[in-house]
Structure 1
């Protein structure tokens, strides 16, 4: 029986020379850039492709969605925030004190699209691409909110963006209007962003593992053990797919500055029920070379702590509770989640790209990622802060 598979191809992996001869690379006319296909394959075809050196990865598509948890519903802007000229998240990462604005940095937001007419994006060049079939634009609101935190201009006198000097953004719609999609769309979106020379890729997305499992068990009427085994096999293959994708990004950095890839770790933990109810990072945040982001919250004492819902084993953290940003249709709204923490880190990455370029230093993706981790702070957390929850600490802008 034929099934749907994602094929990630990379012809640069093939050797077009006889033994002991110098490798000369792909033949003229062949597509050497990595690309993805989604096709129906039988068992024999799958086995043959796994032996093909030009096939970097092969995986069944898995459903993707917005990370579950508190971010599902937007809320009015808190009164305390309405009285401020800068949102607490932008303030916490030190962006107002930074000499950098993100000018010259190109950021790719892979999400539910964007409300390009929102005043927060006035004067920007927004390159939109739809991978879902729902068309460009944002009828969900999640992508607009995340984009606003990365590079939004002030709205109603309130600064919402960490890097409001970004002039160009790549907006890849990889989740449909209902907030769901497929891993195939994410892979296409990442390759598109890499091909368009993004300095930063930010993804507030997760794999819906349990929906995939339930679909196999309920809709396809698989026995429970078989459905569980098939779901785990698909997850493993997807992890390898993302790992290969990130290695391609690193390989591209050999001939250019490269790309910093950032993703939300997810909101599946429940520390409010039990301090040990902590879940590890979801994909794509768990993939090799991706900076996984945890969410932090404010305490009444003024210090910060990990958000109860934030998944553990992140590389870095950002403000993720009560984050005010752009609302689809205009105005501002408040959301919570690791989805909201991630664009704070993406905005800081845009600032660090500008900083390293201005210094004349080696402005490359590895250097930017290193600057994010080395300059993160743990001084803002309470005494019970756990490094495994917060990673290197709260992201900071260049000063």
Structure 2
């Protein structure tokens, strides 16, 4: 039975015929940039095995469902916020120190891979938005999720309220990798990442996850027994993790030629600490992939910032993710909760650090920016007793 597969190739990998009929010798040139190419094909299992022998092929994975990491509800989340009520800077912008930083993200190109964007929102006035649709549903943002995330990264002030961490960003890449219903698949995501890297993104922000339960449900709907469906879904999940690892390695290997790309992703909202402190889930894909900076969510408390009960454990760094006010699709402002909201705070701060590193004597590349981002995290603003496993190195801070 044919199934949709994603194939990751490195086109810089060449096979040269050895002289005197000695066979082929595969040469992976370390002195030239890698050329990652994401392809899609309907293949049988036998064709997958045959294709895996191709030295250009770095990974093969069945396409699996993806979904936006949906905002977590409370009595206030999802509420439309007036500019008067939110006057000044949002608490998240202030918490990460962006309102006091001399950096604005000027000269940095940021990519948001999400549900699209409401390009007509006043928060994005003056920003050159390059949009690409990988979902098949057209550009624009029906869900409002991508608009909210983009607003936190580089949104301009809305009626006197500062919502953007890096309002000096003037070029943004908007890859719509989730459709109008908020869902997609890993094919869309991998194509979106490839596009963003090719377009020169220095920072990529992703507030989405892989829908493992959805894949199991789909297989059961096709007649698979539950046990087999779960095993098959697990293998597909593992294959997509290996593909992410391979793609991130190719991106990192290009750092000497392109300065690299810093990829940031939400840890996920599956934990349920409000029910039982032990109900914690580890960071999910794509944040769990090697080379991706994973983000946990913090909320305000009487004794300092604490980890949000929904935030998955073992992130690398944390940021404001509860009661986050940002741009609302259709106009105005809205408050959301989630690691989806924490992630764009870190993406915005990463843009500030990229600008800061560019003005210094340090090597200007994604590795340096990542090191500065993580090394300057703060734990003094956190409430006593916040577990390092839940918050990573601490609260992200602007230069």
> Is this a same-fold pair by TM over 0.5?
yes
Distance 1:23 1:131, change over 3 A: same
For residue 202 of structure 2, the aligned residue among 199, 203, 218 is 199
In 2, are the aligned partners of 1:16 and 1:25 still within 8 Å (CA)? no
1:232 aligns with 2:234: yes
Show the 5 A alignment for 1:290-329: 290-301=292-303, 303-329=304-330
- Cα distance in 2 for residues equivalent to 1:221 and 1:22: 43
Taking the TM superposition and a 5 Å limit, the aligned residue runs for 1:321-360 are 321-360=322-361
Distance in structure 2 (CA, Å) of the matches to 1:57 and 1:123: 40
Count of matched residue positions in the alignment of Structure 1 and Structure 2:
391
Displacement of 1:21 in angstroms is: 8.5
Secondary structure at the counterpart of residue 354 of structure 1: helix
CA distance in 1, matches of 2:330, 2:86: 22
DSSP-derived class of the 2:80 partner = coil
**Aligned equivalent of 1:164, options 153, 162, 167:** 167
Deviation of 1:56 (Å): 1.1
Structure 2, unmatched stretches of 5+, are: none
Match in the other structure for 1:105: 108
2:2 equivalent in structure 1: 2
Distance 1:23 1:279, change over 3 A: closer
Q: TM-score, normalised by structure 2?
A: 0.94
Alignment of 1:1-399 (within 5 A): 1-16=1-16, 18=18, 23=27, 33-68=35-70, 70=72, 74-77=78-81, 82-217=85-220, 219-301=221-303, 303-398=304-399
Q: Which string of whole-angstrom CA distances, capped at 9 and with x for unpartnered residues, describes residues 80-130 of structure 1?
A: x82530000000000011000000000000000111111000011100000
Rounded Cα–Cα distance in structure 2 between residues aligned with 1:388 and 1:22:
42
* C-alpha distance in 2 between matches for 1:76 and 1:284: 30
Whole-angstrom distance in 2 between the partners of 1:276 and 1:51:
44
After superposition, give the CA deviation of every residue in 1:240-275 in whole Å (9 maximum; x if it has no partner): 011011011101112121110000010000000111
CA displacement 1:149-198 (0-9 Å, x = unmatched)? 00000001000000000010000000011100010010000000110111
Distance 1:142 1:84, change over 3 A: same
Q: Distance in 2 between matches of 1:270 and 1:32?
A: 42
Structure 1 gaps, min length 5: none
Secondary structure of the 2:229 match is: helix
Determine the C-alpha separation between the residues in 2 that align with 1:165 and 1:360. 22
**Alignment partners' CA distance in 2, 1:122 and 1:328:** 14
- Residue 78 of structure 1 and its aligned partner are, at CA, apart by 7.9
Q: Aligned-pair RMSD on alpha carbons?
A: 2.0
Distance of 1:9 and 1:388 partners within structure 2: 35
User: How far off is 1:16 after superposition?
Assistant: 2.7
Runs of 4+ aligned residues of structure 1 deviating over 6 Å after TM superposition are: 19-22
CA distance in 2, matches of 1:68, 1:339: 7
1 CA distance for matches of 2:295 and 2:17?
43
Could you tell me how far 1:25 is from its partner in structure 2?
Answer: 5.4
For 1:75 and 1:259, the matched residues in 2 are separated by: 34
Question: For the residues of structure 2 that align with 1:361 and 1:229, how far apart are their CA atoms?
Answer: 47
TM-score (norm 1): 0.94
CA distance in 1, matches of 2:25, 2:213: 49
Q: Shift of residue 13 of structure 1?
A: 2.9
Distance in 1, matches of 2:208 and 2:73, equals 12
